[in-house]
Amino acid sequence: MATQIDDPATGIDDQAGLRAHIGAVNPLAERKVLDRLDGFCRDFIALSPFLVLATADADGQADASPRGDAPGFVQVLDERRLLIPDRRGNNRVDSYANILAAPGVGLIFMVPGIAETLRVNGRARLTRDADLLGPMTVQERTPTLGLLVEVDEAFFHCGKALIRSKLWDPTVQVERGSFPSLGRIVAEQTKAIGVAEAEANMEEGYRTRLY
């Protein structure tokens, strides 16, 4: 007989049960957590062209959003603050709406070729400060909005996940033609636009509206 997904006997629903199942925390894993960005953290952020921003609204509905640009696009203002520029997108602003309701954020910074990642947890707020955003101008476009993050925790994460996934291994890259284009997916999912038009819009956006 197949096990029911909601079978209480197979679930874990409290902290004590979780700890009993997983075991004790490695002491180094506890001690490595910083309350600031030290030199190693700053250097890693300066090399990073990509991060994932995790947020949740007041009801706990979660969201994770990619952010990317040239290496070092995130500016470290000091050991407790960093600034992420807002680049052009689709104006959904799910992450920003969540932050207005609940300021807690989690960031994962990645650097191509390095298996380890940097995790930063803290509290965020939106800023339109022209003095802060001005230095983040790219291709003559200055971001009109930025995300200021006050750092509560910063620590490096081991590379097991990226090693297992072979994320940076070019020999396992998927051939682009083996999966439909985003234009085709959007056209077929929404039924609001033709495939050719959707693909043309997507290509034009990638070419002329990155900033």
Question: Is 198 within a domain?
Answer: yes
Question: Is 23 within a domain?
Answer: no
Together in a domain, 67 and 134: yes
Question: Is 12 within a domain?
Answer: no
* pLDDT classification of 10: cutoffs 50, 70, 90: confident
Together in a domain, 47 and 66: yes
Q: Which structural domain, as residue segments, surrounds residue 110?
A: 28-165
Q: Average pLDDT of the chain?
A: 95
Q: Return the CATH number at 40.
A: 2.30.110.10
Report the chain's terminal Cα–Cα distance, integer Å.
55
CA–CA gap between residue 82 and residue 135 (Å, rounded): 14
Question: Is 11 within a domain?
Answer: no
Together in a domain, 114 and 155: yes
**pTM value > 0.95:** no
Together in a domain, 155 and 180: no
- pLDDT, tens only, 17-55: 889 999 888 888 888 999 999 999 999 999 999 999 999
Question: Is 193 within a domain?
Answer: yes
Together in a domain, 92 and 187: no
- pLDDT, tens only, 93-115: 999 999 999 999 999 999 999 99
- Position 3 scores a pLDDT of 55
Question: Is 103 within a domain?
Answer: yes
Together in a domain, 128 and 184: no
Q: How many domains does the chain have?
A: 2
Question: Is 2 within a domain?
Answer: no
Q: What is the number of residues in the chain?
A: 211
Question: Is 49 within a domain?
Answer: yes
Starting at the earlier edge strand, list the strands of the sheet with 117-127.
62-68, 50-56, 104-110, 117-127, 146-157, 81-85, 75-78
- pLDDT, tens only, 135-188: 999 999 999 999 999 999 999 999 999 999 999 999 999 999 999 999 999 999
